[in-house]
Structure 1
């Protein structure tokens, strides 16, 4: 609730992403940047890519975790896609 109030106060917005999208976001962000990104960072990346056409200038993503502890989740996701 605190984050949503801050977004509202400062004219920001939020984007909801599903599990598959955040997993794809984590995989794409990791392969693009070389930084191992976990699901929370994947959600940020997926939301940014979803809104890319509406964004102008530099976009900074906060990645609150690495993919180190969740590598099995992303590996399972990729295996499910035949990768």
Structure 2
């Protein structure tokens, strides 16, 4: 996945689920969302978030500022 997709996924997780996800966790989320059509509705998908979004808040903030948010 692209860096932008990973960062956008991290921001989306924070906004919609209240989960603080760092960029590495954003990669996992973006990958899962990219592959979502390949999963059946009864499949269990596990995404590992290896870091907190608060640790890298400056990276996420920079991403949002680049989008004009």
| TM norm structure 1 | 0.75
Q: Measure the CA separation in 1 of the matches of 2:64 and 2:56.
A: 13
Question: Residues 1-83 of structure 1 correspond to what in structure 2 (within 5 A)?
Answer: 17-56=1-40, 57-83=43-69
Q: How many residue pairs were aligned?
A: 67
Q: Which has the higher contact order (CA 8 A, sep 6+)?
A: 2
Q: Runs of 5+ in structure 1 lacking a partner?
A: 1-16
- What RMSD, in angstroms, separates the aligned Cα atoms of the two structures? 0.9
| TM norm structure 2 | 0.89
Q: Runs of 5+ in structure 2 lacking a partner?
A: none
Q: Specify the structure having the higher radius of gyration (Cα).
A: 1
Give, in angstroms, the shift of residue 25 of structure 1. Answer: 1.1
